Amino acid sequence: MNFPFFIAKRTSGVRKNTFSGLIIKIATVAIALSLAVMLIAVAFVGGFREEISKRVFGFDGHIKITNFDANKSLEEIAPVNLDQALYDNLLQSDGVRTVQKFAHRVGVLKNDEIIEGIALKGIDSDFDWENFQQYIFKGAIMPIVDTVKSKKILMSTYTANRLKLKVGDDVIAYFVKDKIKYRKYNIAGLYKTGLEEFDHQFALVDIKEIQRLNKWEPNQIGGLSVFVDDIDEVDAINEHIYYNLLDHETRSSTIRETNPGIFDWLELQVTNEIIILALMIIVAVINMITALLILILERTNMIGILKALGAENKSIRQIFLIKAAKIIGVGMILGNVLGLGICFIQYYFQVITLPEESYYLSVAPVQFNWLLILLINIGTFVIALFTLIFPSFLVSWINPLKAIRFD
């Protein structure tokens, strides 16, 4: 064993109930709590981003292709002539998972007492029911076939509650663009995405109903929704579609461009996450610096003996840095147990609930990004230990003669 380390081990044992022992415990707890808060923050914020993005994309697609003059209301947007070559080229494009046709018509739903504005979204046989199934609250989906026009409607629980309707009831929709028209639909099911922008506005019907109401030809639609495999590639795929596949009469836009409010809110959560991580790192570092300085001051006599025996400042500093690394390591183990434990409890038992009208979700979601968790652990250890290097130079300023007399 290296001689200075042997002497240090024989003379520097931290006695129970000493002030330095208390400081070490406080520093360990600070590291544990800081790391736990960081892990919980990234798991919950990541869960929010993933779940809300999935709901937005699941309802409206990642990229929308519409008539170029898209600044008009849903009622006034001119139809897109469906080009089968364009449809096939989209499906064959790299990164595109599926393409869905849609159309809109604004109307009013009415029962005996209440009138509720609605935007009917027409869907076709290519609609991805497997993905939408998770939002079905009651009832069932309404499969669309090419040969028969469906008179079913799928509305949100919000609209159904407003109109005091349930699955199986009939509802009359009125349309007043040119002259008053009305259609009767039967409620096949109720959906709930938790996103007010969709739940308060849309109901799903057969696209052939919208084409008939708008007096469109069978090949005329409101637009196309494009779903991609990798969300991170949305912008690149959108550029490819816009510049290589579309003509001058159509345009493509990402869901982030058409629904900026939701994604601005998500970016704000990321900013909050970064602030939390920075604050927790600062708390951990300050506690570790305090602990190291107190350890050095309480071991002044030992430092003097080691220097008198010929130990170099570098070797003595290593002793305290190794002790600090052990404190950090113990704190990180406790922090991982606490932070990941809370995340696993929430993931499996969903004990933390949220007001859905404010957060779009009724339960706080959790995402385990193991690479990010590993980087946080490594970063915490490296930053905390690195910042202790400068305080450890206090050892160099201690005079051996005075230190041996130090009590």
In a structure prediction context, what are the per-residue pLDDT tens digits for the chain, which is 407 residues long? 454 544 444 444 444 446 677 888 888 999 999 999 999 999 999 998 888 888 888 788 899 998 876 555 555 567 888 888 889 999 999 999 999 999 999 999 987 778 899 999 999 999 988 888 888 999 998 888 887 888 999 999 999 999 999 999 999 999 987 678 889 999 999 999 888 888 999 999 999 999 999 889 989 999 999 999 988 899 999 999 999 999 888 889 998 888 787 778 778 888 888 898 899 999 888 888 888 888 877 777 777 777 777 778 788 888 888 888 999 999 999 999 999 999 999 999 999 998 877 787 889 999 999 999 999 999 999 999 998 888 877 766 766 656 556 55
The residue to which tokens 């001119």 are assigned: 78
> What's the pLDDT at 83?
82
Backbone angles phi, psi at 295, to 5 degrees: -60, -45
Question: In sequence order, what are the residues at sequence separation of 6 or more whose Cβ sits closer than 8 angstroms to the Cβ of residue 34?
Answer: 280, 281, 283, 284, 335, 380
Alpha helix positions (H), 299-312: 300-308
Four-residue CA torsion sign, 300, 383, 40, 265: positive
> What's the pLDDT at 259?
79
d(C-alpha 377, C-alpha 356), whole Å: 32
> What's the pLDDT at 407?
52
pTM of the model: 0.79
Question: In sequence order, what are the residues at sequence separation of 6 or more whose Cβ sits closer than 8 angstroms to the Cβ of residue 135?
Answer: 55, 58, 59, 191, 192, 193
- Cα 217 to Cα 79, 212, 221, 311, distances in angstroms: 10, 8, 8, 92
> What's the pLDDT at 17?
45
> What's the pLDDT at 1?
47
Question: In sequence order, what are the residues at sequence separation of 6 or more whose Cβ sits closer than 8 angstroms to the Cβ of residue 245?
Answer: 86, 89, 90, 93
Helices and strands (H, E) in the chain, number of each type: 15, 12
The first and second tokens of residue 59, run together, are 């309802």
d(C-alpha 127, C-alpha 123), whole Å: 6
Question: In sequence order, what are the residues at sequence separation of 6 or more whose Cβ sits closer than 8 angstroms to the Cβ of residue 111?
Answer: 163, 164, 165, 171
